[in-house]
Amino acid sequence: MKYRAFTLSNFKNIPQIKHLSEEQIFDIEVVGEVLPFKTNNYVIEELIDWAHFETDPIYILTFPQKDMLSNKHYDRMAELIRNGASKSERLETANQIRMELNPNPAGQEHNVPEICGEKLVGLQHKYNETVLFFPSQGQSCHAFCTFCFRWSQFSGISELKFAMKQVDLIIDYIRENPQITDLLITGGDPMIMKTKVFEQYIDALLAADLPNLKTIRIGTKTLGYWPYRYTTDEDASQLLDVFKKIVNKGINLAIMAHFNHINEMSTITAEQAIKKIQATGAIIRTQTPLLKHLNDDADMLARMWRKQVNLGLIPYYLFVARETGAQEYFALNLEEAYNIYRNAYIQVSGICRTVRGPVMSAHPGKVQVAGISEINGEKVFVLNFIQARNTDWVGKPFYAKYNPDALWVNDLEPAFEDKFIFEA
Ligand SMILES: *Cc1c(COP(=O)(O)O)cnc(C)c1O
Ligand code: SF4
């Protein structure tokens, strides 16, 4: 299949749009001005069930929905459009609304490492063992998720575009920090890069013979949004050869595949792509943000994890939605998230229980809601750091006052103590 993208400017050419009412099309035009909107022919033709598009999870995943904006924001943009406002007027208003949607959560800009006083802008180093790399050519995706917290990178308003070209600086940084074992290449989606570009990075990294570099991870949504990347794209087989090169060097290659729903694993091409990646010796681990309207269904999650294991994938994380973008639309409170996770977890065998959740990837670290309990007559959330900026916090359960409305760690107050361990 040849890739074809659809965005705000051409989505009316999608044949299946005939299923939508004029009002629904207008909603896309309004919300799509603010939240990034991009989908593609694979998503449209093979993933979405157009007979039931209004409740189809993949439709909700890539097409802007009216309720993703507050009424106030919606009305402001709708009025501009009805009055025939110019493109620049619409953009100005869109940027104002975006700024109110917390475009840069969890202070990513705090973890930009330095070398000889020079900031390495395309790197992020927060947890001892793992450094993140945002290659500049990987700052987009084959489609855009309507919940995405990286949307400021796509909509072009970010001051802190995490991106760099200088692979030499990464190599120096990894060499000078022997505690680093993992390089996580992320984006956007790094698998949007042409193989030629990706190969340049990998060749340089492998040639550097970094003794501490044991794992290369690639965070990607391609198995969900464009599995043809590994089958019929013109540089697909070269890409698989690059994967083999990494594996043959003795480095563990982990494809961190982002899935939202079992439907993304239901196509022949997705299964073929998985097999081709596995044939290179790479391992595929999966991560899923838990989102209302999309995948807040314990039975579906249990089926999804079982199917992943059947296909040889390893379930890894179930995330709580970030406090950004259309969060009101997607957010589940921590109690709901915990109950959904647990109700799915109890349905699967130990082989699937590699999945950890629900996890908030927050400023101090990755905080898991490990349970809801009663201690000395007080109802509490039991929390646990799976990763932390200070390793001393990891694996020591701590407690927050039960709060049925809490959506994120910021909404919690410590129980039995004045401060959380990370606030000292
Ligand atoms: C999640 C994350 C990692 C990887 O953490 P693991 O627990 O090793 O998977 C690394 N850096 C940042 C900033 C992260 O958010
Ligand atoms: S694939 Fe990832 S980076 Fe791309 S739009 Fe979706 S959540 Fe954002």
* Tens-place pLDDT, residues 255-283: 999 999 999 999 999 999 999 999 999 99
Ligand 1, residue 316: give the atom nearest the CA. Answer: 9
Ligand nearest to the CA of 187: 2
pLDDT in tens, 81-100: 999 999 999 999 999 999 89
What distance in angstroms lies between residue 220's CA and the mean position of ligand 2's atoms?
A: 8
Residue among 141, 153, 286 whose CB has most ligand 2 atoms within 8 A, to mutate: 141
What distance in angstroms lies between residue 147's CA and the mean position of ligand 2's atoms?
A: 8
Alpha-carbon distances of 407 from 57, 259, 317, 341, rounded to whole Å: 22, 22, 18, 15
Ligand nearest to the CA of 364: 1
What distance in angstroms lies between residue 124's CA and the mean position of ligand 2's atoms?
A: 18
Q: What percent of the chain has pLDDT over 90?
A: 85
What distance in angstroms lies between residue 127's CA and the mean position of ligand 1's atoms?
A: 7
What distance in angstroms lies between residue 188's CA and the mean position of ligand 2's atoms?
A: 6
Alpha helices in 147-264 (DSSP H): 151-154, 167-176, 195-207, 222-225, 236-248
Nearest CA to ligand 1 atom 15: 361
Q: What is the mean pLDDT of residues 415-423?
A: 95
Q: What is the mean pLDDT of residues 318-330?
A: 88
Nearest CA to ligand 1 atom 6: 387
Split at pLDDT 50, 70, 90, the class of 162 is low
Which residues are CB-contacts of 185 (< 8 A; sequence separation ≥ 6)?
132, 133, 135, 138, 201, 216, 217, 218, 219
pLDDT of residue 164: 57
What distance in angstroms lies between residue 167's CA and the mean position of ligand 1's atoms?
A: 20
Q: Is the pLDDT of residue 113 over 90?
A: no
Q: What is the mean pLDDT of residues 377-381?
A: 97
**Tokens 């994938």 label which residue?**
313
Nearest CA to ligand 2 atom 6: 145
pLDDT of residue 160: 47
- Across all residues in the chain, what is the average pLDDT? 94
Q: Is the pLDDT of residue 163 over 60?
A: no
Lowest mean pLDDT among 6-20, 148-162, 170-184, 237-251: 148-162
Ligand 2, residue 154: give the atom nearest the CA. Answer: 5
pLDDT of residue 108: 60
Nearest CA to ligand 2 atom 1: 221
Q: Is the pLDDT of residue 173 over 70?
A: yes
* Helices 22-34 and 87-100: angle between axes, nearest 10 degrees: 70
The whole-angstrom separation of Cα 155 and Cα 95 is 9
Whether the Cβ atoms of residue 265 and residue 311 lie closer than 8 Å to each other: yes
What distance in angstroms lies between residue 130's CA and the mean position of ligand 1's atoms?
A: 7
Q: Is the pLDDT of residue 151 over 80?
A: no
Residue among 7, 38, 108, 221 whose CB has most ligand 2 atoms within 8 A, to mutate: 221
Instruction: Report the relative pairing of strands 114-115 and 118-119 from DSSP bridges.
Output: antiparallel
What distance in angstroms lies between residue 371's CA and the mean position of ligand 2's atoms?
A: 29
What domains lie within the chain, and their CATH numbers?
5-99 (no CATH), 103-281 (3.20.20.70), 293-424 (no CATH)
Q: Is the pLDDT of residue 326 over 50?
A: yes
Q: Is the pLDDT of residue 398 over 50?
A: yes
The whole-angstrom separation of Cα 9 and Cα 248 is 44
Question: Does residue 141 have its Cβ closer than 6 Å to ligand 2?
Answer: yes
